[in-house]
Amino acid sequence: MTTMDETKHETPAQETHAFEAEVSRLLHLMVHAVYSNKDIFLRELISNAADACEKLRYLAVSEPGLIEGHEGFRITIEADAKAGRLSVIDNGIGMSRDEMKDNLGTIARSGTKAFLDQLAEKKDGQALIGQFGVGFYSAFMVADKVRVVSRKAGSDVAHEWTSDGKGTFHLGDIDLAEAPVAGTRVTLELMDDATAFAEEGTIERIVREYSAHVPVPISIHVIGAGDGEDAKDETRELTDGAALWMKPKSAVKPEEYKEFYGNVGGMWDDPTLTIHYRAEGRHEYSVLLFVPSMKPFDLFDPDRRGRVKLYVRRVFIADDAEILPAWLRFMRGVVDSEDLPLNISREMLQQNPVLEAIAKGVTNRILSDLAKMAENEAETYAKVWEAFGAVLKEGLYEAPDRRDDLFKLARFHTTRGDGWRSLKDYVADLKENQTAIYYALGESKDAVLASPHLEGYKARGLEVLLLTDPVDAFWVRTALGYDGKPFKSVSQGSADLDQIALEDGKDEDTAPAADVAAFALALKEVLGDRVTEVRASSRLATSAVCLVAPDYGLDRRTEKLVARGEGQSMTAPILEINPRHELIRSLAERQGTDAVEDAAHLLYGQARILEGEAPDDPNDFAARLDRLMQKAFG
């Protein structure tokens, strides 16, 4: 096989650098792992080339001199099958020396370690490569050596980067005659078992399958096409760079949507929902958006940035403009405005009334289409909710004006069973005399179901929402209710369950009210400031005690989250005792005995344990329990 020019172009500026540790690990995985689909390397190089063209197109709006004499943006794939060489060439923004060092020698994006861990576990890493923005390095799946030559637009110097992917890369200056006028050429010396990627038919298949709707024309230049004396170089166009979002929906095939979704979203799954339309009227804009079927890796990134690209009359403006609210950040796609000025800055975008109107209209459409799916395709929508429900519920807290729309979309696990339930379903099945929508907060579904707070509700057949996402603790406090029914925590305030009949139709024996009241006072006296009150409970059925929050203030679960985050102490809870429980009945009859003091500490400690907390004083709790057991069994 012919190798690329080994001339080093020795200059004082030539340097050899070691890859950062995570890049070295990544390259090792790329070279030594076996993936089921290596085609993706070309998709990633084309995607990078298209991004470079779009960036220069954007900069040229305010600096037209950057494209003076420019013949139009284009990506060229140069194939030399006999030499086993493949190049991807663009006439985009190009890179400076420092940019080549930073972009090709380090991985700056968050989530890199997570990507590497997942890549090491999966034989087929094709979905992960696109998601995590490390596409350039996929070239080492098929290449023994990679050479990158680049000249930044407007610069009078050019640079080259070369590496065999084995730990180091070389960076140096080169003669301008070897570099494009502006842009980047990535040349791969293909491995012996990957030379098919330099064949015309293979390249055409990959481009049509994965990159047919990249918004930059793609040409192929075949070196030595044909056989013998008839061999000659040939160039022809593979794609015209037409913007898919500008086409009528009826003219686009499903496979074209999927291919575009993979390119624009960096995703490999099939989109669950495609939203494609053109808005006309006061503001004109085209929209092509997708709801993924799998969670993007950065779904819970602290920055909560969206990944919808903004164009103005097909000129790329930004890939993270705040077009959609943060609670729709899982959406992927493009919004192209006819009304925004081409030279709009990112700072102006944040306060632009036209973009605000577009954002409102697009958000309305997304919520409307999701509601239709929820109504007509319940099983498909359930998968959307499983993937993105925790994010959509952020909108219940952050966008009060959107709550009615989001309540239509919200789905919950409840004490009724394993399936998803809507609030409409819940309200339709309210029990007689039930005036509230009950909910329970917790770390997990199993933890909530094990809570003693649910016992009285279960005994009366009352359905309880099981809220286990961190955001639940916040939105449910600020939401006034649904369909006139307020949300009420099962672990806060009085349960008010006496007006709702038990399912078995009979009441259990309880200790005399006077004895219970006296016992409660005795417990309060022993426990002091650790509890605000001790009272009889209607929410308990089989447990002896539980802790609840006062009527006003924060729910116990919410207060724990706030206290941990801000380092604050929690307010004293209310200790509820079950007058139907045999232990409480027995203790209530033994007023004035020494056992009451030990019982007070043990019951309070038991209530804390049931909440997943340790007793206030584990040593004292153990000593009292030991003393009580000795009396019982000694």
In which order are the strands placed within the sheet that holds 332-337? 273-279, 285-291, 332-337, 307-312, 315-318
- Structure tokens given for 259: 């291919």
Residue 223: enclosing H or E segment and its boundaries? strand 218-225
| 506 pLDDT tier (thresholds 50, 70, 90) | low
Inter-residue long-range contacts of 227-230, CB under 8 Å, 24+ positions, other chains counted:
none
| Residue 507 scores a pLDDT above 80 | no
| Higher pLDDT among residues 466 and 263, named by residue | 466
Residue 134 assigned as binding residue? yes
90 annotated ligand-binding residue: yes
Residue 271: count other Cβ atoms within 10 Å of its Cβ: 22
pLDDT band at 380; cut points 50, 70, 90: very high
pLDDT at res. 395: 96
Q: Is the pLDDT of residue 124 over 60?
A: no
Average confidence (pLDDT) over 219-238: 83
Q: What is the C-alpha to C-alpha distance for residues 146 and 139, in angstroms, rounded to an integer?
A: 8
Listing DSSP states for 249-296 in one string gives: GGG--HHHHHHHHHHHH---S--SEEEEEEE-SSS-EEEEEEE-SS--
Tokens of 429: 């099945």
Q: Is 131 annotated as a binding residue?
A: yes
The dihedrals phi and psi of 297, each to the nearest 5 degrees, come to -65, -30
Contact 13, 173 (CB under 8 A): yes
- Hey, which residues does 337 pair with through a beta bridge? 285, 312
CA 542/CA 538 separation, integer angstroms: 11
State yes or no: 95 annotated in a binding site: yes
With contact defined as beta carbons under 8 Å apart, do 599 and 535 qualify? no
Helix then strand then coil, % of the chain, to nearest 5? 40, 20, 35
User: Can you give the pLDDT at residue 107?
Assistant: 56
Q: What single-letter DSSP state applies at residue 386? A: H
Tell whether 184 is in a known binding site: yes
Q: What is the pLDDT of residue 32?
A: 60
CATH number of 411-634: 1.20.120.790
592 annotated ligand binder:
no
pLDDT, position 213:
76
Say how many Å lie between the first and final Cα of the chain, rounded. 89
What is the pTM for the complete model shown? Answer: 0.71
DSSP, collapsed to helix, strand or coil, labels residue 317 as strand
263 is in an annotated binding site: no
* 44 known member of a binding site: yes
According to the annotation, is 103 in a ligand binding site?
A: yes
Q: Is 111 annotated as a binding residue?
A: yes
Percentage of residues of the chain with pLDDT beyond 90: 51
> Could you tell me which CATH class the domain 15-239 is placed in?
alpha beta
- Residues 192, 209: Cα–Cα separation, whole Å: 24
The pLDDT assigned to 144 comes to 93
Structure tokens at 628: 């009580």
* Gap between the Cα atoms of 435 and 432, Å rounded: 9
Half-sphere exposure of 535 (CA within 13 A, CB side): 13
- Tell whether 346 is in a known binding site: yes
Q: What is the pLDDT of residue 559?
A: 77
The Cβ of residue 382 has, within 10 Å, a number of other Cβ atoms equal to: 15
**At which residue do the structure tokens 């502006």 appear?**
182
Looking at residue 542, its amino acid is T
pLDDT digits (tens, 9 = 90+) for 546-599: 999 888 777 777 777 777 766 667 889 999 999 989 999 888 887 666 678 888
Give the tokens for residue 327. 């609670």
Domain 246-376 bears CATH identifier 3.30.230.80 = yes
Q: Could you give the CA distance from residue 464 to residue 497 in angstroms, rounded to a whole number?
A: 13
Cβ proximity of 89 and 180 under 8 Å: yes
Rounded-to-integer distance, Cα 458 and Cα 538, Å: 12
Mean pLDDT is lowest, of 402-406, 508-512, 532-536, for 508-512
Is 286 known as a binding-site position?
no
Q: How many residues does the chain have?
A: 634
Q: Is there a contact between 491 and 441 (Cβ–Cβ < 8 Å)? A: yes
Residue 607 has, within 13 A of its CA and on its CB side, a CA count of 26
Q: Give the closest residue to 409 by CA, choosing from 376, 379, 375.
A: 375
484, 407 contact by CB (below 8 A): no
* 63-67, 394-398, 433-437, 557-561, range with the lowest pLDDT: 557-561
Q: How confident is the model at residue 136 (pLDDT cuts 50, 70, 90)?
A: confident
pLDDT value, residue 484: 94
For residue 64, what is the DSSP state? G
Q: What pLDDT, in 10s, does the model give residues 155-211? A: 999 999 999 988 889 999 998 888 877 899 999 999 999 999 999 999 999 988 778
Q: Do 555 and 477 contact (CB within 8 A), yes or no?
A: yes
pLDDT digits (tens, 9 = 90+) for 288-344: 999 999 998 888 888 888 889 888 887 777 777 889 999 999 999 999 999 888 767
Residue 436's pLDDT is 94
Q: Look at residue 401 and tell me whether its pLDDT is greater than 60.
A: yes
Q: What are the extents of the domains in the chain? A: 15-239, 246-376, 411-634
